[in-house]
Amino acid sequence: MAYIFSNAWALLLGMMLLMLGNGLQGTLLAVRGDLEGFDATTMSVIMTGYFLGFIIGSKMAPGLIRRVGHVRSFAALASLISAAFILYPAVPDPAVWTILRIIVGICFSGVYVVAESWLNDIATNETRGQTLSTYLIVQMAGIIAAQAIVNFADPSGYALFVVMSVLVSISFAPILLSVSAAPVFEATKRMSLRELFQVSPLGCVGTFLLGGVFAAQFGMGAVYATAKGLSVADLSLFVSMTYLGGLVLQYPLGYFSDHMDRRLLIILITGAGGAVLLIGLSFSDNFAVLLTLAFVMGGVANPLYSLLIAYTNDYLNAEDMPAASSGLIFLTGVGSVLGPVSVGYLMTTFGADMYFVFIAALLLAISAYGFFRMTQRAAPTADDTNAYAAVAPQATAVLVEVAQEYAIDLADDEEATDAGDDKNAQENS
């Protein structure tokens, strides 16, 4: 751990500040939008802008980095994010906010690619696992801590938007001043969506539906809380519980993923999660119940992303995994674009609690489709599965590929160790 912080402290600090700014953005816009009189449908369109921009950015970032380099790309994109954050309160118009969210989404996608490329370059084979875990914790901790900042100033003013802008502006200073030479950027091999669906229908359908869940929890969670009439303090706690659930349950579910049929685990957690959300709605006026539902939602959705990637990889050769991951990330992004608009319409038409109904319906749909797939194809044996690699939903293809390579290397090492133990046991006998 000391090696990680001594060599990657600047990058981790920069990413923490970036996540503080990004985590604050979604919550603050929801609160400010309510003060400006924007309804749930309007806010859903605004929130969709970020996810649309993220998809666009994922396609643009590699070309930009190859043309101008990591350093210039990072500085330019982070500067645009900082400028966009300042413009939100200056022009409180839905169309303008949507455009700004698209720009921010494009820029964050590129910033993540650059930062995660550097992270991979800094890590060694011996420290890669700890580095990935630390990076995941830093991301989640940044988003959770951002929710507390909402309480420090009046959302109707400029102060919190200035704080967002400053956090992003400061974030790239330690990174650009302290990181090692820029790493070599390599394009990922391509795989068509048709080929990917043939490999893993559940992986494709699951990540597409999960994108709607992610967009709802990241983009519309605070909008739901304002619609329920929660105070700013309660709202920030509600949003925090979503990410806390994902952080706490990521590794227990990862453990089970490596020791049982992954498809069955997907069916169980999505079915149980959807059922809990629907049952809990009867008590949604109780704040403690709302916090519990937020924890369950995040605890199921965030690890499920890594689980679906691992399940898809069980049917792939190692050289095809990066291309498959890029396809799954794209499908998640498409689902994310459609999610906020759908849930916003439902909330406006049928009431705020449709937020949880929408998410529960998506989780139950994943569970039902997984059950259907069990009747179509046998699950691979435990010996034929690849190791589970925990990644955050906002991770780019760069980090997912790194996590997969580490998981494969770890599994190979364990297999070699087991083979050596068996050989020694036979010699001793």
Render pLDDT for 41-91 as a digit per residue (tens, 0 to 9).
Answer: 999 999 999 999 988 887 787 778 778 777 788 888 888 999 999 999 999
pLDDT for 120 beyond 80:
no
pLDDT for 422 beyond 80:
no
pLDDT class for 276, splitting at 50, 70, 90?
Answer: very high
Give the mean model confidence (pLDDT) for residues 86-105: 94
Q: How far apart are the first and last CA of the chain?
A: 40
Burial of residue 192 (CB within 10 Å: 0-12, 13-18, 19+) is exposed
Give pLDDT tens digits for 284-336. 889 999 999 999 999 998 888 888 888 887 787 766 766 777 788 788 888 88
Give the mean model confidence (pLDDT) for residues 249-276: 87
Distance separating alpha carbons of residues 406 and 412, to the nearest angstrom? 10
Burial of residue 190 (CB within 10 Å: 0-12, 13-18, 19+) is exposed
Helices of type H across 150-200: 159-178, 193-199
* CA proximity to 26, closest of 229, 242, 244: 242
Distance separating alpha carbons of residues 111 and 64, to the nearest angstrom? 11
pLDDT class for 109, splitting at 50, 70, 90?
Answer: confident
Q: To the nearest whole number, what is the mean pLDDT of the chain?
A: 82
* CA proximity to 218, closest of 7, 11, 359: 359
**What SS3 state is found at 314?**
coil
Q: What's this model's pTM, rounded to 2 decimal places?
A: 0.83
Give pLDDT tens digits for 238-258. 999 998 998 888 778 877 877
Q: Which tokens go with 93?
A: 């118009």
* CA proximity to 103, closest of 119, 86, 117: 86
Top pLDDT among 25 and 315 is at: 25
Yes or no: say if 9 and 133 are a contact pair by the CB < 8 Å rule. no
Distance separating alpha carbons of residues 175 and 34, to the nearest angstrom? 36
Domains and CATH numbers, the chain: 2-181+191-420 (1.20.1250.20)
36-65 in b/e form (b: 16+ CB < 10 A) is: bebebbbbbbbbbbbbbbbbbbbebbbebb
Residue at 201: amino acid letter: P
Yes or no: say if 303 and 256 are a contact pair by the CB < 8 Å rule. no
Res 218: pLDDT: 84
For the ranges 92-101, 145-154, 173-182, 323-332, the lowest mean pLDDT is seen at: 173-182
Top pLDDT among 401 and 315 is at: 315
pLDDT class for 215, splitting at 50, 70, 90?
Answer: confident
Res 118: pLDDT: 73
Distance separating alpha carbons of residues 129 and 65, to the nearest angstrom? 26
Yes or no: say if 241 and 291 are a contact pair by the CB < 8 Å rule. yes
pLDDT for 173 beyond 90:
no
**What SS3 state is found at 226?**
helix
Label residue 180 left, alpha or beta by phi (over 0 means left) and psi (-120 to 50 means alpha): beta
Percent of the chain with pLDDT over 90: 36
380-417 in b/e form (b: 16+ CB < 10 A) is: eeeeebbbbbbbbbbbbbbbbbbbbbbbbeeeeeeeee
Which residue shows structure tokens 């090692």? 180
81-119 in b/e form (b: 16+ CB < 10 A) is: bbbbbbbbbeeeebeebbbbbbbbbbbbbbbbbbbbbbb
Res 67: pLDDT: 82
For the ranges 144-148, 273-277, 376-380, the lowest mean pLDDT is seen at: 376-380
Distance separating alpha carbons of residues 10 and 179, to the nearest angstrom? 7
**What SS3 state is found at 371?**
helix
Distance separating alpha carbons of residues 285 and 207, to the nearest angstrom? 31
Please, what is the Cα angle at 136 between 250 and 231, to 5 degrees?
80
Res 370: pLDDT: 92
